[in-house]
Structure 1
Amino acid sequence: MRELERYYRVLELQPGATLEEVNQAHKDLAFVWHPDRLPQNNQRLQQKALKKLKEINEARDKLRSLKTKKHRSLNNSSTPPKQPNYYKPSASYKPPASPQKQSNNSAPYQSSPPKQPSPPKQPSPPKVNSDLSGKDFSSANLSNKDLSGRNLSYANLSGANLSDTFMHKVVLRGANLSGANLFRANLLLADLREANLRSSNLIGADLSGADLRGADLRGARVRSGERLLVKLIGANLEGAIMPDGTVHD
Structure 2
Amino acid sequence: MSELERYYRVLELEPGATLEEVNQAYKDLVFVWHPDRIPLDNLRLQQKAQDKLKAINEARDKLRSFKAKYQVSQTSSPSQPKKSDSPTQQPPKKSSDLSGKDYSRANLSNKDLSGRNLSYSNLNGANLSDTFMHKVNLRGADLSEANLFRANLLLADLREANLRNANLIGADLSGADLRGADFTGARIRSGDRLLVKLIGANLSGAIMPDGTIHA
User: How would you bin the TM-score normalised by the shorter chain?
Assistant: 0.5 to 0.7
Following the alignment from structure 1 to structure 2, what is the Cα–Cα distance between the partners of residues 153 and 122?
Answer: 36
Mapping 1:51-66, distance limit 5 Å: none
Structure 1 counterpart of 2:164: 198
Greater Cα offset, 122-131 or 209-218: 122-131
Among residues 171, 181, 200, which one is paired with 1:215 in the alignment?
Answer: 181
Decide whether aligned partners of structure 1 residues 127 and 179 sit closer, same or farther in structure 2, where only a CA change above 3 A counts. closer
Following the alignment from structure 2 to structure 1, what is the Cα–Cα distance between the partners of residues 157 and 198?
Answer: 13
Structure 2 counterpart of 1:166: 132
TM-score normalised per structure 2: 0.59
Deviation at 1:120, TM superposition (A): 2.0
Decide whether aligned partners of structure 1 residues 127 and 186 sit closer, same or farther in structure 2, where only a CA change above 3 A counts. closer
Following the alignment from structure 2 to structure 1, what is the Cα–Cα distance between the partners of residues 122 and 195?
Answer: 25
Structure 2 counterpart of 1:181: 147
Secondary structure of the structure 2 residue equivalent to 1:233: coil
Q: Which amino acid aligns with 2:110?
A: N
Following the alignment from structure 2 to structure 1, what is the Cα–Cα distance between the partners of residues 140 and 90?
Answer: 29
Q: Between Structure 1 and Structure 2, how many residues are aligned? A: 132
Structure 1 counterpart of 2:199: 233
Q: Please give the per-residue CA displacement for 1:159-179, whole angstroms capped at 9, x wherever unaligned.
A: 000000000000000000000
Deviation at 1:121, TM superposition (A): 3.7
Q: Which runs of 4+ in 1 moved over 4 A?
A: 122-127
Following the alignment from structure 1 to structure 2, what is the Cα–Cα distance between the partners of residues 183 and 120?
Answer: 42
User: Is 2:210 the counterpart of 1:247?
Assistant: no
Structure 1 counterpart of 2:190: 224
Following the alignment from structure 1 to structure 2, what is the Cα–Cα distance between the partners of residues 180 and 142?
Answer: 11
Q: Which amino acid aligns with 1:128?
A: P
Following the alignment from structure 1 to structure 2, what is the Cα–Cα distance between the partners of residues 208 and 172?
Answer: 15
Among residues 73, 92, 107, which one is paired with 1:128 in the alignment?
Answer: 92
Following the alignment from structure 2 to structure 1, what is the Cα–Cα distance between the partners of residues 179 and 80?
Answer: 53
Q: Which blocks of at least 5 consecutive residues in structure 2 are unaligned?
A: 1-78
Q: Please give the per-residue CA displacement for 1:47-82, whole angstroms capped at 9, x wherever unaligned.
A: xxxxxxxxxxxxxxxxxxxxxxxxxxxxxxxxxxxx
Q: Which blocks of at least 5 consecutive residues in structure 1 are unaligned?
A: 1-117
Q: Which amino acid aligns with 1:152?
A: L
Normalized per residue, the structure richer in helix is 2
Mapping 1:7-156, distance limit 5 Å: 119-122=80-83, 128-129=92-93, 130-156=96-122
TM-score normalised per structure 1: 0.51
Deviation at 1:128, TM superposition (A): 1.9
Q: Please give the per-residue CA displacement for 1:198-222, whole angstroms capped at 9, x wherever unaligned.
A: 0000000000000000000000000
Q: Which amino acid aligns with 1:120?
A: P
| Two-structure CA RMSD over aligned residues (Å) | 1.7
